[in-house]
Amino acid sequence: MADHAPKRDVVVEAVAREAESVVSLVLADPDWGPLPAWTPGAHLDVETPAGERQYSLCGDPAEPGRWRIAVLREPDGRGGSVWLHDSVGAGDRLSVRGPRNHFELVDAERYVFVAGGIGITPLVPMVRA
């Protein structure tokens, strides 16, 4: 993974189909404690059998015990998204690093958000903020 932040295990609390070829995964601490805080625009590095993949957090930063990511199934990709779609379910554990934020929402008088498809995921918490 890109930085040297320690890995942590998380448990998949829920998996939901959000749209065609998109699932969301709700991640929690295995001991049901709080998870590290994050800000809109942040992502997690998720360990998959195909290597590390980055997924934007799209839940509510005010919910300290849960992280939510959305994953687009990319059948022609490197295999990480297919594995998350086909092999990961509620109760499974994942190894992650983060959250990290290289897409911070900056203070401004007003905003215009433009996104489509899975690119909406980092903007969902930005719009909420």
pLDDT tens for 14-61 read 999 999 999 999 999 999 999 999 999 999 999 999 999 999 999 999
Residues 6+ apart with CB under 8 A from 55: 43, 44, 46, 69, 70, 71, 121
* Phi–psi pair at 124, nearest 5 degrees: -55, -50
Is there a contact between 109 and 48 (Cβ–Cβ < 8 Å)? no
- Model pTM greater than 0.75? yes
What percent of the chain stands above pLDDT 70?
Answer: 97
Mean pLDDT of 57-79: 94
pLDDT of residue 2: 46
pLDDT of residue 3: 55
Is there a contact between 1 and 45 (Cβ–Cβ < 8 Å)? yes
Residue 99: is the preceding peptide bond cis (ω within 30°)? yes
